[in-house]
Amino acid sequence: AQTVTQSQPEMSVQEAETVTLSCTYDTSESDYYLFWYKQPPSRQMILVIRQEAYKQQNATENRFSVNFQKAAKSFSLKISDSQLGDAAMYFCAPRAGANSKLTFGKGITLSVRP
């Protein structure tokens, strides 16, 4: 089983600035995957970025990147050049190995100030 902690319930960022959303997790598995999902006010959840634990290189998707610290079991999401459309709830979700379920954290509500 895995657990995930998102300790910041809300964050705010100025448009065009950079923001980092924190996530820590715990798992006894050696092979696992980590995801960030975004849920905008329209409520359709979409995948932002994913990271394989065996890869040392941090994943990057355009303005979104992660800082994966395996030893510390930390998986933070960095959003660069924040846009108004980035305003949403962001969920960190580990998945330990094949055939296991995704475990969502409690989420962080991000607001973007124009």
Residues of this chain that bind another protein (CB under 8 A): 9, 31-33, 37, 42-47, 50, 52, 91, 95-102, 104-107, 109
Minimum separation from the CB atom of position 16 to another protein (A): 28
Cβ of residue 45: shortest distance to another protein, in angstroms?
4
Query: What is the three-state SS of the chain?
Result: CEEEECCCCEEEEECCCCEEECCEEEECCCCCEEEEEEECCCCCCEEEEEEECCCCCCCEECCEEEEEECCCCEEEEEECCCCHHHCEEEEEEEECCCCCCCCCCCCEEEEEEC
**Least Cβ distance, residue 51 to another protein (angstroms):** 9
